[in-house]
Amino acid sequence: MNDNSWMNNPALGGIDPAKLKMLSSLAEQAQGKSQSELLAFLMATMSQSQAGNMSFSPAETEAIINVMKIGKTPRQIQKIDRMCAMIRQARK
């Protein structure tokens, strides 16, 4: 069972609960994927969410990423930052 306590972080209070539920589902689906598999998965997910008119503002995205970094090791934070950089690059 996954720990979804991050969804209750006050920094995410302004985000629509439907968006948070979608993120929780995506986090479960992403479990165990390699970095390259994860990048492809996230890119496909972003395309689907945009087609379904569900998108995240830059402020929402930043809040989510910051909350996901809580309690992570410096190495894990670096991996998150690298993944975010790769996604930004792929979107261009």
Tell me the per-residue pLDDT of 16-38, one tens digit each, with 9 for 90 and over: 888 888 888 877 887 787 777 77
Domain ranges of the chain: 7-91
The answer to whether residues 49 and 25 touch, using CB atoms and an 8 Å cutoff, is no
Tell me the per-residue pLDDT of 44-78, one tens digit each, with 9 for 90 and over: 777 777 666 777 888 888 888 888 888 889 998 89
Task: Give me the pLDDT at residue 50, please.
Answer: 67
Look up the pTM and report it. Answer: 0.68
